[in-house]
Structure 1
Amino acid sequence: MPEYLLFRLFGPMAAWGGVAVGEYRPSESHPSRSAIFGLVAAALGIRREDAADLKELQESYRMAVLVNTPGSLIRDYHTTQVPSEITKKRAWPFATRREEVSIHRDDLNTILSTREYFCDALYTVCIQAATENPPYLLSELAEALNSPVFTLYLGRRSCPVALPLQPQVFRGDNLRAAMEAAVFQNIGMMSSIAGKERGMLFWEGEENTGFAVESSQTVQRRDVALNRRRWQFTERKEHGALVQVPEGVR
């Protein structure tokens, strides 16, 4: 039987960035692939410049996300001071943010942006090996999530994880069976928002999840990280359906 790693993500704010052009920085309704494997990489201590390790990590596993509680969408209006393009060319590179904004005020411009966040959302994430010899056992990933090397964030650095992830590894015939076996403690604010009987499930791959799905949708998401230093991404297929939430993950 296949193995599944399950864990929970909760925080006062989360931002799952979609395609952002210019001043509008939207958030998807649920965690992106790049966010999940970026979080796992942070737990393992893999840095952004370790391109080969990041590539192997994301290619060796597949994922699914259950939206237990979608949360509330908010929009935050930002103003950020940055040097003009002419100043950048003349003085580039700046060593620190303080150095960047300490130039004469006439050489500073202001960028306006609107950013989306989801408040008090709760997600159950599942990771499964997609290759015969993945770089880490699921139990090793669970251990890293319990004792992460770097701070874990929910999409942006302004959105740290608020509660323990409670990672658990189970064997089961399918994803639904693994979720039925899970035992999560609804601690803190989680206890007031968990318990919903139905939720949206998003998964990749064509194998049977074990859920009774009346109808589903398949979309293209541009959330597979190609190069984190250059912020380049490519597309993948993602399936989604409204399902009955198993008792183990309510």
Structure 2
Amino acid sequence: MAELLLFQLYGPLASWGEPAVGEYRPSATHPGKSQIAGLLGAALGLTRDREEELAALAGGYGLAVRIDAEGELLRDYHTTQVPPARRGRTFTTRAEELAVDDLYTILSQRDYRVEAAWTCVLWATASAPYPLADLAEALRRPRFTLYLGRKSCPPALPLRPELIDSATLKDAFAGYPLDDRLGWLKRPERHRYFWEEPLPDGLASGFTAQEKLWVVPRRDRPGSRRRWQFATRDEHHAMA
């Protein structure tokens, strides 16, 4: 048995960034390591410049995700004005950015998931900076506003964090049903699951050989926030 923290994510819009080249900004079907680390950091009140602490959040916990509702894909043609990067100059608000004289425009196409929902599972590793109970309390009463990938995508329901003990990820997910308020969502006949290994002592995936699909590398482990650099980790996939 292992201690696990489960919580839900739902919003009218969500965007889980993938590696982007040029003007196209794709979204994954489910949140990854960097987005969950950012979510936890916001809940705990960590600002983006505290890279070491945010990296500790990413490295200190294992992650598994179940897609409860896939939603629909929405692509937005996006324009935004930004100031040029200057050494030694940091903008703390959007108003400060817009006050600069030499703004330039960035054009992009950005993908969003519409009316989708996910259940996430966390477990602590030996390097975890906080007990799971502290993370659960932070998710109940976050210090900063939480977002589902982008600032335009706040959650529409409380995250409903819950601590449980379980021998398998599959049993843990089964013991955390979809929120009653989301019963109207279009749900798949079989759920897709994603997790990383190694799993802690006392915890197995619980999925049969027939349910396991493949292992895919995903570049979502936070590196440098300033340079937008991410490292690769392996993500296990199953359908049940």
* TM-score for both structures, normalised by structure 2: 0.87
What is the distance in 2 between the residues matched to 1:136 and 1:202? 23
Match of 1:193 in 2: 185
Could you tell me which runs of 5 or more consecutive residues in structure 2 were left unpaired when the two chains were aligned. Answer: none
Preserved contact between residue 9 and residue 123 of structure 1 (Cα < 8 Å)? yes
Preserved contact between residue 207 and residue 238 of structure 2 (Cα < 8 Å)? no
Q: Measure how far apart 1:231 and its partner are.
A: 2.0
Match of 2:122 in 1: 127
Could you tell me which runs of 5 or more consecutive residues in structure 1 were left unpaired when the two chains were aligned. Answer: 244-250
Corresponding residue pairs, total: 234
Matched position secondary structure for 2:238: strand
- Are residues 65 and 94 of structure 1, via their aligned partners in 2, closer, same or farther at CA, if it must alter by over 3 Å? closer
- Are residues 94 and 54 of structure 1, via their aligned partners in 2, closer, same or farther at CA, if it must alter by over 3 Å? closer
The one-character-per-residue Cα deviations of 1:156-210 (angstroms, maximum 9, x if unpaired) are 00100110111101101111222233355322xx120166441110110044311
> Could you say which structure has the larger radius of gyration?
1
Code of the residue aligned with 2:121 in structure 1: it is C
Q: Measure how far apart 1:66 and its partner are.
A: 0.3
Preserved contact between residue 186 and residue 194 of structure 1 (Cα < 8 Å)? no
1:113 to 96, 108, 114: 108
Q: Among all aligned residue pairs of Structure 1 and Structure 2, give the percentage whose two residues are the same amino acid.
A: 46
The one-character-per-residue Cα deviations of 1:31-86 (angstroms, maximum 9, x if unpaired) are 01100111011111122122222122221110000001111001000122346x7x
What is the distance in 1 between the residues matched to 2:134 and 2:207? 28
What is the distance in 1 between the residues matched to 2:186 and 2:132? 25
What is the distance in 2 between the residues matched to 1:184 and 1:27? 23
Q: Which has the higher helix share?
A: 1
What is the distance in 2 between the residues matched to 1:127 and 1:153? 18
- Are residues 205 and 197 of structure 1, via their aligned partners in 2, closer, same or farther at CA, if it must alter by over 3 Å? same
| Paired residues for 1:1-250 under 5 Å | 1-82=1-82, 93=89, 97-98=94-95, 101=98, 109-131=104-126, 134-182=128-176, 185-187=179-181, 190-193=182-185, 196-207=188-199, 208-214=204-210, 215-243=212-240
Matched position secondary structure for 1:198: coil
Task: State which drifts further: 13-22 or 202-211.
Answer: 202-211
Q: Measure how far apart 1:219 and its partner are.
A: 1.2
